[in-house]
Amino acid sequence: MKPDLFEAPDYYNLDDLLTEEHIMIRDAARAWVKRDVSPIIEQAAQEAKFPKSIIPGLASIGAFGPYIPEEYGGAGLDQISYGLIMQEIERGDSGVRSTASVQSSLVMYPIWKYGTEEQKKKFLPKLASGEFMGSFGLTEPDHGSNPGGMVTRFKDAGDHIILNGAKLWISNSPFCDVAVVWAKDENDRIHGVLVERGMEGFTTPETHNKWSLRASATGELIFQDVKIPKSNILPGRSGLGAPLSCLDSARFGIAWGAIGAAMDCYDTALRYSKERIQFGKPIAGFQLQQKKLAEMITEITKAQLLAWRLGVLREQGKATSAQISMAKRNNVEIAINIAREARQMLGGMGITGEYSIMRHSMNLESVITYEGTHDIHLLITGLDITGENAFS
């Protein structure tokens, strides 16, 4: 793979909207990605292996629990810092960002928000340091966009529960130490349950043959009469709103992360277009190529503004789920379109692993599907503005 020469576009001087601390945190993450992710990520993706060697580095840049308080091992940062870290990681690879998003927003967040003090002390510091890796089990084979229909269930058995069911498409599942699993009780009420590796009847087979997010491990969570102490149930919140609140946090991170992938594709195409000579001049001098680049930077700038404003609203506790949906949907869409255009600008070279664009392009096919599909987010906006439910 070519050396990582990334230079971040900032067409509207958006750095002026950031604090010195934001810039310091972002630049540290950017430097780490250049040094520790870019040199190894192409091979990891080709081999379809999550590079576990980067786990300590992810922890060191605050990617595991950026906004979790320091008393629990988190970085104690604000929402914009969280977004910037996700942007920089996804600039390197969406699969690596997925690992960090799951750990932070889908595992640490629910334990922090809905867990007991004992659960927080047991799990959060180890998740923050990367000693423990977590996964989040909501999706099932027959319930993806409609998680409320889930059939994974537990029965009360005195001081413990017995869990049965299966979750599919679970990031980090093959190596997770703990899974936050959403399951129904005997009254059909959804609860979060902490399922730990080693519990009898709990297995995590890997899903192979992915053409997307190849550097992120995906698998199943299977529960066959798993005996779990009641102290592993998250008591703070039940009902579908509990997992959906975690998705809000993860989708916010995706809205920022997708900008990173888009920036990398744009920057690569811009540099290539200035160096590639055809018909006696750089292809950057042809109007058709300039149109592509001009549209890319316009969309990136709009996405940056959307993400920044959402960060401010989220920090103030004012961001609605529908606003987060809009940003996730828009920013992933612009990223996937930019990846496609950038790929074309590199001609045949664009399909090789010498450049990052094709990997981003394939990765974004998952990003546009997980954490609510592109269509589901549109329906969320539709419901929000009309008051009419078009889901069912």
Ligand X SMILES: Cc1cc2nc3c(=O)[nH]c(=O)nc-3n(C[C@H](O)[C@H](O)[C@H](O)COP(=O)(O)OP(=O)(O)OC[C@H]3O[C@@H](n4cnc5c(N)ncnc54)[C@H](O)[C@@H]3O)c2cc1C
CB of 106 to ligand X, least distance (A): 7
Residue 370 touching ligand X (CB under 6 A): yes
Residue among 110 and 311 whose Cβ is closer to ligand X: 110
Name which position in 8, 41, 102, 128 contacts ligand X (CB under 6 A): 102
* Binders in 206-235 for ligand X, by CB under 6 A: 213, 218
Residue 144 touching ligand X (CB under 6 A): yes
Nearest-CB residue for ligand X: 144
Return the amino acid letter for 248.
D
Q: How far apart are CA 310 and CA 316, in angstroms?
A: 10
Residue 193 touching ligand X (CB under 6 A): no
Residue among 254 and 283 whose Cβ is closer to ligand X: 254
8 A C-beta contact, residue 296 and residue 342: yes
Return the amino acid letter for 267.
D
Q: How far apart are CA 121 and CA 326, in angstroms?
A: 35
Q: For residue 352, report the phi and psi dihedrals to the nearest 5 degrees.
A: -95, 165
What percent helix, strand, coil does the chain show, rounded to 5?
Answer: 55, 15, 30
- Burial of 38 from C-beta contacts in 10 A (0-12 / 13-18 / 19+): buried
Token couple for 159: 């001081």
Residue among 81 and 216 whose Cβ is closer to ligand X: 216
Residue 171 touching ligand X (CB under 6 A): yes
Task: Please give the angle made by the CA atoms of 181, 373 and 88, to the nearest 5 degrees.
Answer: 80
Active site residues: 371
Q: How far apart are CA 355 and CA 265, in angstroms?
A: 9
Residue among 127 and 138 whose Cβ is closer to ligand X: 138
Residue 169 touching ligand X (CB under 6 A): yes
Name which position in 139, 273, 304, 323 contacts ligand X (CB under 6 A): 139
Q: How far apart are CA 61 and CA 198, in angstroms?
A: 30
Name which position in 164, 369, 382, 383 contacts ligand X (CB under 6 A): 369
Residue 179 touching ligand X (CB under 6 A): no
Residue 123 touching ligand X (CB under 6 A): no
8 A C-beta contact, residue 107 and residue 72: no
Binding region for ligand X (CB under 6 A) out of 1-9, 139-147, 251-259, 278-286:
139-147
Q: How far apart are CA 323 and CA 309, in angstroms?
A: 10
Name which position in 75, 96, 133, 138 contacts ligand X (CB under 6 A): 138
The footprint of ligand X (CB under 6 A) covers: 102, 136-139, 144-145, 169-171, 213, 218, 366, 369-371, 373, 375-376, 379, 391
